[in-house]
Structure 1
C-alpha cells in the first residue's frame, strides 16, 4: 500500500506536480464531500445565474439570426448582453472562488495537524467560518493590486501573481494576518520564484484543459445546431446545450482541487527550504514517542 503524502518536505518541480495528483487521489472522497458540503450552495447559485445569462445571450443571438430584430434599427450597444444576470454570475463566482480556497486549504491544514487523518465536518466548519471573511477581504485587495500592476506593465503583474497566491496558504496554514502573510510571501519566494511559478502554471494549464474537455460535448451540440437547423440567417444556438454548458462550467470548479493543492505544496516546499520546520519538529519529538507494541509486560 502506497504511503500517504508527506506535506511538509522540500520538493523539486516534478515532485510538486506528481505529489499534487497523489494527494488528490488519496483524499478524493473527503475532498469531494467537503466540496459539495461547503461550496455547493455557491456552485448552485452560480449554475442558476450562469443559466439565466446563457438564456439571455442565446435568445438575443437567435433573435438576430432569425430576423426577429430589424437589423437596420437594432443597434446593440457594447453592454447589450450585460445585465443583472451577468453581475450575479460574477458575484457568485467570486464567492465560489473564496469558498474553494478556504475549504481545500482548511482540509490540508487539518490533515497535517491530525497527522494525515481526515478531518471531521465540525472541524472543517470551524476553520471555514473563521477564515472565510478574512480571505474574502484579502482577495479583493490582492485583485486590485494585481490589476493595477498588470495595467501599469504586464511584467509586474506576472511577477506578483505567484507571490500573491502564497498569501492565502500562509493565512490559513499559519493562522496569520494579511500584513504578516503579505511580507512572508516575499520572503519565502526569494530565490524560488521560478519553481513556484512553473509549478502553478503547469497545474493551471491542466485545470483549464480539464474544463475544456468537459465542455466539448456542449460545444459540439451547438456546432451541429448551427449547421443542421435551417433558418433565416442560418441555424440557431441550442438553448438546452447552452444551459447544460453553463451548469457544467460551474461544476468544473471542483477541478480547483489541483491548483489549490499544488499551491499548498509550493508553500510547504518553500517553508521547509527556508525554515526547516518539519525537521525541527521531528528532532523535538525524539525521545518523547513511546513505541506502541502488543507485547505483554515483563513479569519477574
Structure 2
C-alpha cells in the first residue's frame, strides 16, 4: 500500500478524473514554476545543450553529405557517424535524467519541501533515481524491439505490435512513479504498477495521452514562428544552395531540443497525479492518512480535556472533622433522616 507522505498544498492522493489530473498538473506548475524551472533546468541543462548542439551539428553534416552524393555511395553509413551516436547517447541519457529530475521534484514536493528545493537538493535526489530509470528504459526498449518481430506477420503484424506498444505504455509510465515513491526494485515496481493499472487502463492512458498532447501543442506553438522563418529563408536560398535547408533545420532544432526538455514536465507531473489516483483507488491511502490525522487530533483533544490525575481523597478521610450530632441528612443507618 502506498503510504508515501502527501504534504504539498496540492494533494496527489485523490480520486481525480482525467480533467482533474490536468487541472492539478497546471496548478502545480503555475504555483511552483520559479522554483521548479530554476532547479530542474539547472540539472538537465548540460545534457539538453549537448543534445541540441549534437542535433544541429548532425543536420549541418547531413547538408554536406547531400551536396556530395558520391560520399554516400562510397560510404552508406556515413550518416551514422560519431555525431549520430552522440545524439543517441545524449538523447537516451537526457531522457532518463529528465524523468529522474521531475520525479525527484515531485517526491520532495510531497515531502513538504516546496520552497526549499534548490538545484543541489534536486540533483542529490535525482542522482539516486538516474540509474534505475536508465535500467528501466533499457529493459523497456529491448522489450519493444523484441516484440517488433510480430510485425513481420503480413497485414495484422504491424497493427498487433503497435497495439502492444500502446497497451504497455501506461504500465511502463506508472512503474516510474512506483519506483520513485513506493518500491526499491524495478521488479517489485513493475508488479505494483500492474495492480494499479489493471482495472484503470483507460483512465491512465487517457490522462497521459492528454498530457502528451498538451506538451505537443505548446512545443508546436513555440516552434511555429521558427519554422515559418526557416521556410521563408529556405525558399529564397534553395535554388542557389539546396543543402542550406539542413543547416537551417539544425539551427532551429537545436534550441527547440532544449525547450522541449522543459516541456517534458507536463506529462511527467501528470504521471504522478495519475499514480496518486490509482493508489487512492486501490488502497484508499488518502483516506487512511486522513483517518490517522483525525485520530491524532482526537487524541490531542482528549489530552487537553483529561481531568487532573490527582487521586480523590479517600472516603471518610475528613469524617472526624464533622460534628457527630450534626444532622447532615442522607442515607444513614439504613434509613433516610431529614
1:298 is matched with none
1:100 is matched with 98
Q: Which runs of at least 4 in structure 1 moved beyond 6 Å after TM superposition?
A: none
Separation of aligned partners in 2, 1:240 and 1:223: 9
Alignment partner of 1:141 out of 131, 134, 139: 139
Query: Any gaps of 5 or more consecutive residues in structure 2?
Result: 1-7, 151-160, 302-338
* CA spacing shift, 1:271–1:116, aligned 2, 3 Å: farther
Separation of aligned partners in 2, 1:85 and 1:73: 17
Separation of aligned partners in 2, 1:233 and 1:51: 18
Query: Are 1:242 and 2:250 counterparts?
Result: yes
* CA spacing shift, 1:216–1:151, aligned 2, 3 Å: farther
Cα drift, residue 78 of structure 1: 5.6
Q: Which has the larger radius of gyration?
A: 2
Count residues in correspondence. 282
Cα drift, residue 116 of structure 1: 5.3
1:214 is matched with 222
Query: Are 1:188 and 2:196 counterparts?
Result: yes
1:83 is matched with 81
When the two structures are superposed, what TM-score results if normalisation uses the length of structure 2? 0.76
* CA spacing shift, 1:286–1:120, aligned 2, 3 Å: farther
2:324 is matched with none
Cα drift, residue 118 of structure 1: 4.4
Cα drift, residue 234 of structure 1: 5.8
1:294 is matched with none
* CA spacing shift, 1:276–1:169, aligned 2, 3 Å: same
Q: Tell me the SS of whatever aligns to 1:114.
A: coil
Separation of aligned partners in 1, 2:75 and 2:225: 31
CA distances 1:136-174 after superposition (whole Å, capped 9, x unpaired): 112111121133335532222211111111111110112
Aligned CA RMSD, in angstroms, stands at 2.5
When the two structures are superposed, what TM-score results if normalisation uses the length of structure 1? 0.85
2:328 is matched with none
2:129 is matched with 131
Q: Tell me the SS of whatever aligns to 1:81.
A: helix
Q: Tell me the SS of whatever aligns to 1:119.
A: coil
* CA spacing shift, 1:150–1:266, aligned 2, 3 Å: farther
Q: Is the 8 A contact 2:104 2:126 kept in 1?
A: yes
Q: Is the 8 A contact 2:55 2:250 kept in 1?
A: no
Alignment of 1:136-285 (within 5 A): 136-152=134-150, 153-229=161-237, 231-232=239-240, 236-237=244-245, 239=247, 242-285=250-293
Separation of aligned partners in 2, 1:241 and 1:19: 36
* CA spacing shift, 1:225–1:59, aligned 2, 3 Å: farther
Query: Are 1:60 and 2:65 counterparts?
Result: yes
Cα drift, residue 59 of structure 1: 3.1
